[in-house]
Amino acid sequence: MDVGIDHIAFYTPGHFLALDELATVRGVDPKKYTEGIGIREISIASNDEDAVVLAANAADKVIDEAGISRSDIGLLIVGTESAEDKSKPTATHVHELVGIGPNCRVYDIMHACIGATYGVLSALDWVRGAGKGRYALVIASDIARYERESAGEPTQGAGAVAMLICANPRLMALEEVSSFSKSVYDFWKPLEKKYPIVDGMFSAQCYADAATYCFQQETLKKGAAFVFHAPYPKLVQQTYHRIAKLFDDASPKESFLEKVAAGLRYASRVGNIYTGSVWLGLMSVLGEFHERKQEPSITDAYDGCYLFSYGSGCGAVLIRGEFVPGCEQILKKFDVQEQLDARNKVSVGDYERLAEIYERGGSPQEKVSAIKASGPFKFIGVEDEKRIYGSV
């Protein structure tokens, strides 16, 4: 029985910061961000948007687009490292906001950027066993924040990807190929800190080593698309050059453009979205195929795909995906490009004001120009020490 993704949807806040403008204020050559790192724009969450809001927006969208009944969802997992509570799962809020029935397992998975991928793997097992005939909803939702003026600042981002997993899926079947784990301190978030601590160059080394290990375990199909967790596109390019040696690729520059670059298009406009990054990369490959309209079907364009997911700390997984013939119909519903083009640009000054509100734990009612949640859900505030959510 094939099990995999039936439908996938993305949500990003309605605002972005242009990195050439940030670079100018930071006294950095803009090309360092746009070319050296490979990110041009980063999505910015308003102060009435958090990981619950982004997750619920993406979840609502994927259910509507797939046209399934909410009562058919028997498992709901949120992968996030941006949770606002150390006990009550983000997924419980999403369960309520989106209106999924009580006959459902609901929980979060936290392991840096790989949490949602572990959620997908759990969902595949669940569909093969207890969840036969039902859907699992897996959501990757994060707001990637780094300290202002730190090296990581241009690699921030915000967004959520929601996926429906079931048997005989309409989009793609998934199988785990290999995994890797090792305890390292490359990127971590002590509970009392507002921002992560990062050993940037070491983290890049850990990422590349984990990728090399995972890809070494498989005889790779050369015609496949390669989708990577993309903290910043340059790292993916450097890592792919290492992977290409594993299958004696004599022209890695060309094959990067053919097999990898399509998966980075959205990353360069959204930034790092942590758990959702690799899944947005998959949507990027599919979206690019849909727009270029060269081959009649995705199975003509690619011999399946490899999805490489990495989470600091660290864990990594390589997944093989097989596109389902006829899945092109689903791609017509993707609106990532439209969402990105519709965002409003924020000034560096407004971005700094939002960061300052976040740092002191200010109220979502504090006004920063016209920057607010674009909906359908928003964070209203804290009452009796409880976080309250509602509609825009």
* Alpha-carbon gap, residue 51 to 90, rounded angstroms: 7
CB 33 within 8 A of CB 154: yes
Cβ atoms within 10 Å of 157's Cβ, excluding its own: 32
**Contact 90/130 with Cβ under 8 angstroms?**
no
Tokens matching residue 279? 């899944």
- Per CB under 6 A, residues contacting ligand HMG are 29, 31-32, 35-37, 81, 112-113, 151-152, 155, 186-187, 198, 200-201, 203-204, 207, 229, 231-232, 234-235, 272, 274, 310-312
Which residue has its beta carbon closest to ligand HMG? 36
User: Is residue 314 flagged as an active site residue?
Assistant: no
Give me the least distance between CB of 183 and ligand HMG, in Å please.
Answer: 14
Which strand (E) or helix (H) includes residue 351?
A: helix 348-360
**Pick from 220, 224, 171, 117: which is nearest to 3 by CA?**
171
d(CA 340, CA 336): 6
How many residues does this entry show for the chain? 392
Q: Determine whether 81 is an active site residue.
A: yes
Question: Which C-beta is closer to ligand HMG: that of 31 or that of 182?
Answer: 31
> Nearer Cβ to ligand HMG, position 234 or 387?
234
Tell me the DSSP string of 262-286: GGGTTHHHHB--GGGHHHHHHHHHH
113 carries an active-site annotation: yes
Among candidate residues 104, 113, 166, 314, the one labeled active-site is 113
Shortest Å, Cβ 138 to ligand HMG: 17
Q: For 202-225, give the DSSP string.
A: HHHHHHHHHHHHHHHTS---TTSE
Strand ranges inside 282-372, DSSP E = 305-311, 315-323, 344-345
At its nearest, how many Å lie between ligand HMG and the CB of residue 313?
7
The minimum distance between CB 341 and ligand HMG, in angstroms, equals 25
In whole angstroms, the minimum distance from the beta carbon of 89 to ligand HMG comes to: 18
Pick the catalytic residue from 49, 166, 229, 327. Answer: 229
Nearer to ligand HMG, 241 or 290 (CB): 241
Output phi, psi for 286, to 5 deg: -65, -40
Smallest gap from Cβ 163 to ligand HMG, in A, equals: 19
Cα–Cα distance between 140 and 383 in angstroms, integer?
27
Query: Of the residues 49, 81, 153, 288, which is catalytic?
Result: 81
Nearest to 207 by CA among 238, 178, 177: 238
- Indicate which residues carry an active-site annotation: 81, 113, 229
